[in-house]
Amino acid sequence: MRAVFIGVIALTVGIAAAGCGGASDQKAGAPTIVAGFYPLAWVAEQVARPGTKVVNLTPAGAEPHDLELSPGDAQTVSDADLVVYVGGGFQPALEDAVAQRDGPSLDVLRPGESDPHIWLDPVRFSQVVHDVGLALGRPAAARRLEQTLADIGTLYRRTLRRCFSTTFVTTHAAFGYLAKRYGLTQLSLAGRTPEAEPGPKEIERLVGEVRASGAPVVLAEPLVSTHLAATVAREADVDMSYLDPLEGLRSERLDAGDDYASVMRDNLTVLKKALGCR
């Protein structure tokens, strides 16, 4: 962590200088930030100085867990002024590329955090915004975005404090931080990657757990197959809806103006209905 911190301080000076330069600096190229996947790219775009190039390595509509780097991607990582990523094996190919680069990189996962899905807790994600703001020498811009996340967190807290049920069923275990923050219980059909495929006996067990939980809805995901969620929902005789783990947004949603903040609010609407909140 110390090497990363020193590199980030150096980057702060470098990007600030680039932002104040003239035509010669423009010829040298805009500073480039590489983000592992959508939520981190969104933060970088909101916080970085105008003119900074932000590269999201995960294509729109793709699962970040599945990220593989082309030679061109690896070169982009190597050349970036800053790489922002989630460690802990969330995107192994990117972590390998980061280990081979000389420039500063910011792993937003804290020591001891084994679950990478920190962005789904707006309070925890605010710390990521703070750290990116420090890295880029843009604390004021970071504070504005932190306030947006604080407002979302307040909305979640107020909406979820009086609910008929406190258990919600998800496709994979992405919402643990959110559940803990707001006093809920997440019942997941798979592990921390959405590709997990339980066998028949496991599905039978899951159906029993969903029935026992009293949850009226199984929440599928927009970017992965709904087969498992639909099967469990059908066998447990409950409805199926969608809850977005925000690992990426499809191009059409981005084009329509959706972003992290709007999807988090949409997710709250889904949870409010699923949990019977007043």
Instruction: Write the pLDDT tens digit of every residue in 2-39.
Output: 334 434 544 553 454 444 433 333 335 789 999 999 99
pLDDT for 151 beyond 50: yes
| pLDDT for position 224 | 87
| pLDDT for position 30 | 86
Give the count of domains, the chain.
2
Please check whether residue 150 lies inside any domain of the structure: no
* 10 and 136 co-located in one domain: yes
Single out the residue of 71, 28, 75, 33 nearest to residue 50, CA to CA: 33
Distance from C-alpha of 33 to C-alpha of 130, rounded to nearest angstrom: 16
Dihedral sign (CA 64, 264, 214, 220): negative
Long-range Cβ contacts of 65-69 (<8 Å, 24+ apart)? 65/90, 65/91, 65/193, 65/194, 65/195, 65/247, 66/195, 67/36, 67/37, 67/91, 67/93, 67/94, 68/93, 69/93, 69/94, 69/97
Please check whether residue 197 lies inside any domain of the structure: yes
Distance from C-alpha of 24 to C-alpha of 167, rounded to nearest angstrom: 58
DSSP state of 66: G
Out of 19-23, 244-248, 262-266, least confident range: 19-23
* 220 and 188 co-located in one domain: yes
As a whole-number percent, the residues of the chain with pLDDT over 90 amount to 82
pTM for this prediction:
0.88
* 170 and 227 co-located in one domain: yes
* 22 and 91 co-located in one domain: yes
| pLDDT for position 7 | 46
| pLDDT for position 3 | 37
Q: Which comes out higher in pLDDT, residue 11 or 278?
A: 278
Range of the domain at 58: 2-140
- Quote the tokens at residue 251: 């191009």
* 126 and 190 co-located in one domain: no
As a whole-number percent, the residues of the chain with pLDDT over 70 amount to 87
Please check whether residue 89 lies inside any domain of the structure: yes
Out of 9-18, 51-60, 225-234, least confident range: 9-18
Distance from C-alpha of 2 to C-alpha of 265, rounded to nearest angstrom: 36
φ, ψ dihedrals at 106, nearest 5°: -120, 110
Distance from C-alpha of 113 to C-alpha of 179, rounded to nearest angstrom: 15
- Quote the tokens at residue 220: 């599928």
Q: How many helices (H) and strands (E) does the chain have?
A: 12, 8
The Cβ-side half-sphere exposure at 170, using a 13 Å CA radius, reads: 25
| pLDDT for position 190 | 82
Distance from C-alpha of 148 to C-alpha of 144, rounded to nearest angstrom: 7
Please check whether residue 146 lies inside any domain of the structure: no
Please check whether residue 148 lies inside any domain of the structure: no
| pLDDT for position 192 | 59
* 79 and 21 co-located in one domain: yes
Distance from C-alpha of 169 to C-alpha of 33, rounded to nearest angstrom: 36
* CATH number where 202 lies: 3.40.50.1980
